[in-house]
Structure 1
Amino acid sequence: MNRTIKHLIQRCAFYFGGDQPYVSWTERLRSSVGSLLGLFLVFAIAKLLGELTGIDEWLMASLGASALLVFALPGSPMAQPWAVIAGNTLSALIGITAAIVIPDSVLAMPLAASLSILGMFILRCLHPPAAAVALIAVLGHVTHYRYAFFPVMVDSVLLVIAAGMYSNLTGKKYPNRPN
């Protein structure tokens, strides 16, 4: 009977994060502090750049998800500079185009996300948060391509730089360099 209950608990645990690998508290804190410092740096610089240029849009909402990848999973192919910068920028361009060309957002949103995924496959820059960038452009009715470059590309570049500095200072290699 005990064996059956233990087996049932293990089987159910999968659905509550049981498939996640163990991460030490040191690594959890390193990743969390890195994302705090990195995002603060990105937000401060982007806000300053926005004020200097008179542009109100200085932040992209999906940057938190990008930060998770570059600080907590710096070895992932989806966290590498090309994936972060090109994936986010391409997806913003596609989302803006969808917002301009397709007036119905119910159609524009899935089209923007799916085309951004296709584009990321083609350019070899898969970055999951970037599909959200395409949706954000449609939801926000963004119809100017400048948005793809500032804040999206600039914020992505700043995040990659912050991640590179922090990760290398704390003993993690970022970005990954091919052997």
Structure 2
Amino acid sequence: MKHSDKRFLKHLLFYLGGDQPPVSWLERIRSVLGAFIGLMLVFTTAKYLGELGGIDEWLMASLGASALLVFALPGSPMAQPWAVIAGNTLSALVGISCFHLIEEPLLALPAAAALSILGMFVLRCLHPPAAAVSLIVVLGHIGSYRYAFFPVMVDSVLLILAGAVYSNLTGKPYPNRPPR
């Protein structure tokens, strides 16, 4: 293979995941197992709380994306408790408000996501899956502000607690500690 061909192939492979850092199989298994256990605990607890309260909605769909950050990237600023809890809750509140205030879904959807992002910037709680929460709310025609607190906030808190216990038991400090 010519030098230019190898260079082109290397350039192309960069865009096919070549920019991702290498991760050991032990760390992959640790992250996957943590996400499974954490989500199972959150779902079970939230379902029980929903049944106890007579509430049908006990799950938020973007929790899987939040789990990826909490269990696979626990050191990320976007995986920290404030980012997860405040980002998800704020975005649900924004999505519900957009659902009520903007009748046209083609305007309500981008407004919900954009305003959620703005709110997360202002509150310093950037959490990418939270932008999806605002869209899920509008798409699901969720009009009750209660949804922002249960299941969104409660599920987020439960995920953080599961992530903290699991990560610290498996040698990954979580959440981040402030510098001294």
Does 2:46 align with 1:32? no
Which amino acid in structure 2 is aligned with residue 65 of structure 1?
A: A
**How far is the alpha carbon of 1:4 from its aligned partner?**
1.5
**How far is the alpha carbon of 1:103 from its aligned partner?**
1.0
Match of 2:101 in 1: 101
User: For the residues of structure 2 that align with 1:105 and 1:61, how far apart are their CA atoms?
Assistant: 19
Does 2:92 align with 1:82? no
Q: Secondary structure at the match of 1:173?
A: coil
**How far is the alpha carbon of 1:68 from its aligned partner?**
0.2
Q: Secondary structure at the match of 1:164?
A: helix
Which amino acid in structure 1 is aligned with residue 132 of structure 2?
A: A
User: For the residues of structure 2 that align with 1:91 and 1:26, how far apart are their CA atoms?
Assistant: 34
Q: CA offsets per residue over residues 27-78 of structure 1, 9 Å max, x none?
A: 0000000000000000000000000000000000000000000000000000
User: For the residues of structure 1 that align with 2:148 and 2:21, how far apart are their CA atoms?
Assistant: 35
User: For the residues of structure 1 that align with 2:4 and 2:104, how far apart are their CA atoms?
Assistant: 53
User: For the residues of structure 1 that align with 2:51 and 2:99, how far apart are their CA atoms?
Assistant: 26
User: For the residues of structure 2 that align with 1:169 and 1:41, how far apart are their CA atoms?
Assistant: 16
Match of 1:118 in 2: 118
**How far is the alpha carbon of 1:85 from its aligned partner?**
0.1
Match of 1:16 in 2: 16
Which amino acid in structure 1 is aligned with residue 52 of structure 2?
A: L
Aligned pairs for 1:1-179 within 5 A: 2-179=2-179
Which amino acid in structure 1 is aligned with residue 106 of structure 2?
A: V
The runs of at least 4 consecutive aligned structure 1 residues that moved more than 6 Å come to none
**How far is the alpha carbon of 1:2 from its aligned partner?**
2.3
Which amino acid in structure 1 is aligned with residue 105 of structure 2?
A: S
TM-score by length of 1: 0.99
Q: Which sections of structure 1, spanning at least 5 residues, go unmatched?
A: none
RMSD: 0.6
Which amino acid in structure 1 is aligned with residue 4 of structure 2?
A: T
What percentage of residue pairs aligned between the two structures are identical?
72
Which amino acid in structure 2 is aligned with residue 79 of structure 1?
A: A
**How far is the alpha carbon of 1:91 from its aligned partner?**
0.3
Which amino acid in structure 2 is aligned with residue 176 of structure 1?
A: N
Paired positions, count: 179
User: For the residues of structure 1 that align with 2:103 and 2:41, how far apart are their CA atoms?
Assistant: 36
